[in-house]
Amino acid sequence: MLAVSLKTPKEFRQELAARAKERRLALNISQQELAEHSGVSLGSIKRFESSGLISLSSLLEIALVFDCLGDFDSIFSTKDTPTSLFEPEPKKRKRSSRKTS
């Protein structure tokens, strides 16, 4: 069964930013240190933690520092997911039978 979320993209961004900040604080890393280790500008890190806005590239660099880059592996995965909530699952394709003459 497909889980349906009622969160908006903005809510997801804000939650992600809050989790990243919690992770940074748990690791006892300052924003400046995170910027130095990740190569992401201090301004980008501050903006991310306050608004949730950040480029994908910068987010991946931060995830690498936090040792959670692998968490992105399941995003957009097509494994066992229907293409739409409103359409039936597509039929599996079959090879046509061989015609004999």
Instruction: Output the pLDDT for position 81.
Output: 55
> DSSP string spanning 61-90?
HHHHHTT-GGGGGGTT--TT--S-SSSPPP
- Report the predicted TM-score, pTM, of the whole model to 2 decimal places: 0.71
pLDDT, one tens digit per residue, over 11-45 is 999 999 999 999 999 999 999 999 999 999 999 99
pLDDT, one tens digit per residue, over 38-87 is 999 999 999 999 999 999 999 999 999 999 999 999 888 877 655 566 66
Q: CA 44 from chain center: how many Å?
A: 18
Instruction: Output the pLDDT for position 45.
Output: 98
pLDDT above 70: percentage of residues in the chain = 81
What's the CATH code, domain 9-69? 1.10.260.40
Parse the chain into domains and list their residue ranges.
9-69
Instruction: Output the pLDDT for position 6.
Output: 85
